[in-house]
Amino acid sequence: MGEMDQTYWDSIYRETPRPGWDMDGPTPILAELLDLPACRGLGPDLAVPGCGFGHDAAELARRGFRVTGVDFAPSAIQGARQRHGEQVRWRQEDWFTLEDTFDGIFDHTCFVAMAPERRAEYLAHCARRLRPGGLWLAGMFHTVTRPPGPPFAVSLEEARRLAEVRFEILHLDHATRSHPRRAGREFLMVGRALPGS
């Protein structure tokens, strides 16, 4: 991943008590996604790749899900534990090497944080980590404030093109409940993993 490797991200979490993307709480689009008809029947075991300091993972646990928060930056996982205790199963691991399976994956900024050339590989790995009928819930940026990134913007059309290889797209539209700092720049996608993905 070049400059955006484990060392790059770990240094940010180690040296910055609150990185620029950290909202000191869960993203409002988490609730928006869970309220979508496409997410009805979401199973209890969820993963949050690139969980950072764990605010979204902890909120999902508060809502009754069994949650695994994954980040390859040791300082991120340490910070998540300090902020949220052990209500989440924290894993300091590279998402691409994880072999566990889940009923759902909540992705808020992991997809857009990585180098664009890895997006297809990332989606393939997400699909393999989902049990039959499992859902990928994602919040992405179609516009970023300081291009090129990270985060890296992706259009709705490009996100659909990449995802439909591995997922049946159940929802794709602009977010309506974004944090004020992100208003008008986010969209939501829900996909069901295709058999054999």
The model's pLDDT over 39-85, given as tens digits with 9 standing for 90+, comes to 999 999 999 999 999 999 999 999 999 999 999 999 899 999 999 99
pLDDT at 187 over 70: yes
pLDDT at 17 over 70: no
Q: Using 50, 70 and 90 to split pLDDT, how confident is the model at 3?
A: very low
Q: Say what the pLDDT of residue 2 is.
A: 38
DSSP state of 106: E
Sign of CA dihedral 48, 138, 6, 144: negative
**54 vs 1, which has greater pLDDT?**
54
Q: Say what the pLDDT of residue 94 is.
A: 93
Amino acid at 129: R
Task: Give the CATH number of the domain where residue 119 resides.
Answer: 3.40.50.150
**What H or E segment, with its residue span, contains residue 193?**
strand 186-193
Q: How many structural domains is the chain composed of?
A: 1
pLDDT at 4 over 70: no
How far is CA 127 from its chain centroid?
Answer: 13
pLDDT at 170 over 60: yes
pLDDT at 111 over 50: yes
Please provide residue 37's backbone torsions phi and psi, each rounded to the nearest 5 degrees.
-55, -30
Residue 101 domain boundaries: 2-193
Model confidence pLDDT, tens digit, residues 129-150: 999 999 999 999 999 888 787 8
Q: DSSP readout, 31-98?
A: HHHHTSGGGTT--SEEEEET-TT-HHHHHHHHTT-EEEEEES-HHHHHHHHHHHTTSSEEEES-GGG-
User: Cis bond leading into 151, ω under 30°?
Assistant: yes
CA nearest neighbour of 74 among 105, 45, 51 = 51
Residues of the chain above pLDDT 90, percent: 76
- Beta pairing partners, 49: 70
**135 vs 14, which has greater pLDDT?**
135
